[in-house]
Amino acid sequence: MTAENLESLVNRRYEHGFVTDIATESLPPGLNEDVVRAISARKQEPEFMLEWRLQAYRQWLEMKEPEWAHIHYPPIDFDAISYYAAPKSDDDRPKSLDEVDPKLLETYDKLGIPLHERARLAGVAVDAVFDSVSVATTFKEKLYEAGVIFCSFSEAVREHPELVQKYLGSVVPRRDNFYAALNSAVFSDGSFVYIPKGVRCPMELSTYFRINAANTGQFERTLIIADEDSHVSYLEGCTAPMRDENQLHAAVVELVALEGAEIKYSTVQNWYPGDENGVGGIYNFVTKRGDCRGANSKISWTQVETGSAITWKYPSCLLRGENSVGEFYSVAVANNWQQADTGTKMIHIGANTRSTIVSKGISAGHAQNAYRGLVKVMPQAHGARNHTQCDSLLIGKQCGAHTFPYMEIKNPSAKIEHEATTSKISADQLFYCRQRGISEEDAVNMIVNGFCKEVFKELPMEFAVEAQALLNVSLEGAVG
């Protein structure tokens, strides 16, 4: 199966542009205070949450869309979007895998997605996926025993309002930026994680998440709190092609690591990128930030970004605590007409804080791929250390690869290093591989995977394997 087939298949869902089939549960398009109130009411949220949303909405009205990124897209009509849609009813879904397009199943096969997950990913009605239900229940019990709170954001607002109130917006304030403000006003749902003091989360939350994720909607909100000396690894998204009717996505993720805590946040993003002519595709405007609040804390972001027509995303670390550590490992692939402007911010505030940035950008087709990063060392951050490596790989003559790294250093004891290279897959490399009997496509995959290896090794094991396969699928047809 070729990339074109996959795309045309995925594209079918987008024929009608922004418009969803208006189910009775959906709100009409447009945004005003009544819409915000309606969302909050439907979610049965406490008063403080409604107030918070309303303030965000009022702040959003005063803000302007950011224009500095190296991306181009037609203006977004924020009044043409419906800000609340109830999850699809089971009647609309396929009843079993037999009803799912065989091409899609073939992709799952290529990606090596476990059998029991395929049904859920293909959108098969939940009660048809009996296998996973029992698995999920086992997981739930295990987490409960460890004292870990892991639930949907809506549930957290109802069950743990004190935690939500304390931490929500403490890392990404409502008026942080245009899209964060919009998200704060209308966020649909997302995940909430709290790891108690000294607890090492007994499993990768990724595994659980993949089986249980509900339809979180286009304005996802995630909050993860790791209390003192705790540890958690969380994976968001998955390698399977994600379909969604909503073109605009604006998610906010907040991480809080208290003293000695460690959060590892991995993302695999494979939203619909648009067709080979650049029509359609998701606009993904994401604000992700982690706050190393306590001494010796650590936050590590790993991302594999292959989807979306537009990616605007800068997972960042505020390194407040002494000796805290921030990491950012990224592979961003842009093929066809995709545009990615992504990178990170490392803000060194505490003494002896360290950060590592490894960014690998791959451009093919007519795509534009930009790395944009900031390393800032505040005057009090004695002994701060940063190493940045950002490499670009170009495949084809029409694509672009760009780097915009900012370094703002206000402390003389800081050690900052930044390196960047740009290269292409050379004829020599291909010739060498072909001479040894490796097909051109395999050779390209091999070279690309080698290029990304430093990042893949940071992913949880099973996802590293899938991410590698995903990369091959994403770049299908890019060479030759």
Partner 1 sequence: MTQAPLSVDRIRRAVSALPTTRHEDWKYTDLSSAIDISTRWLQEDVSRAPDAASPQAIAALTAAVDADWIVIENGVPDPSSFPEGGDIGIERLRHAEALADDPLARLNSALQRDALRIEINAATEKPLGILIIDEALSGAQVSQATIDIEVAPGCDAEIIEYHSSSGDGDHYSNSAVTLHIGESAKAAYVRIQDRDLKHVQTARFAIELDTDSELQMAGYDLGGGLIRNDVDVNLAKPGASANFNGLYLAGDDQHIDNHTRVDHRVGPASSSQEYRGILNGRCRCVWNGKAVVHEGADGTDARQANHNLLLSDKAEIDAKPELEIYADDVKCAHGTTVGQLDEAAIFYLRTRGLDQRAAQQLLTHAFAAGFVNRAPVAASREAVTALVEARLSTLVREAIS
Residues that bind partner 1 (CB under 8 A): 68, 70, 379, 392, 394-424
Tokens of 206: 């990724």
Residue nearer to partner 1 on the CB measure, 175 or 424: 424
Residue nearer to partner 1 on the CB measure, 427 or 461: 427
Q: How far is the CB of 379 from partner 1 (least distance, A)?
A: 6
Q: How far is the CB of 333 from partner 1 (least distance, A)?
A: 15
Q: Which residues 6+ apart lie within 8 Å of 69 measured at CB?
A: 312, 341, 370, 372
E strands, 352-446, are: 354-364, 368-377, 385-395, 400-409, 415-424
Among 282, 311, 292, 315, smallest CA distance to 458 is for 315
DSSP state at residue 242: B
Residue nearer to partner 1 on the CB measure, 48 or 406: 406
Tokens of 72: 């181009």
Tokens of 433: 């591989």
Residue nearer to partner 1 on the CB measure, 17 or 379: 379
Q: How far is the CB of 398 from partner 1 (least distance, A)?
A: 7
Q: How far is the CB of 419 from partner 1 (least distance, A)?
A: 5
Q: Which residues 6+ apart lie within 8 Å of 174 measured at CB?
A: 52, 55, 56, 59, 180, 181, 184
Q: How many C-beta atoms surround the C-beta of residue 231 within 10 A?
A: 17
SS3 464: helix
SS3 273: coil
Residue nearer to partner 1 on the CB measure, 126 or 409: 409
298/292 Cα distance (integer angstroms)? 6
Q: How far is the CB of 4 from partner 1 (least distance, A)?
A: 22
Residue nearer to partner 1 on the CB measure, 248 or 362: 362
Q: How far is the CB of 311 from partner 1 (least distance, A)?
A: 18
Residue nearer to partner 1 on the CB measure, 206 or 392: 392
344/367 Cα distance (integer angstroms)? 20
Q: How far is the CB of 279 from partner 1 (least distance, A)?
A: 22
Tokens of 424: 């292409």
